[in-house]
Amino acid sequence: MDANVYRLTEIVGSSDQGIDHAVKTALERASKTLRHLDWFEVTSIRGSLDANGVPTVQVTLKVGFKLEDPDETAG
């Protein structure tokens, strides 16, 4: 019986090297504290410009990961 449960967490990766790098930055940071990262979806692409007009892109992601059963992990 397939009855898995996943959780979504929303994170924002920023980068001055473009959108793909901001996604990569966010996923690498998330993988340090969350196990079983399974999928993601981009929910917004924004950015800020510093006083010299140099842009930093900010990509918001929802990241899904599988929840372990607390009963199992308690064993």
Using CB under 8 A, list all residues that contact its own copies: 1-21, 23-27, 29-33, 37-42, 44-49, 53, 55-58, 60, 62, 64, 67, 69-71
Closer residue to its own copies (CB): 1 or 75: 1
Closer residue to its own copies (CB): 9 or 75: 9
Closer residue to its own copies (CB): 58 or 75: 58
Q: List beta partners, residue 44.
A: 60
**Residues 6+ away with beta carbon under 8 Å from 65:** 6, 7, 9, 34, 35, 36, 37, 38
Lookup result for tokens 């979806």: 41
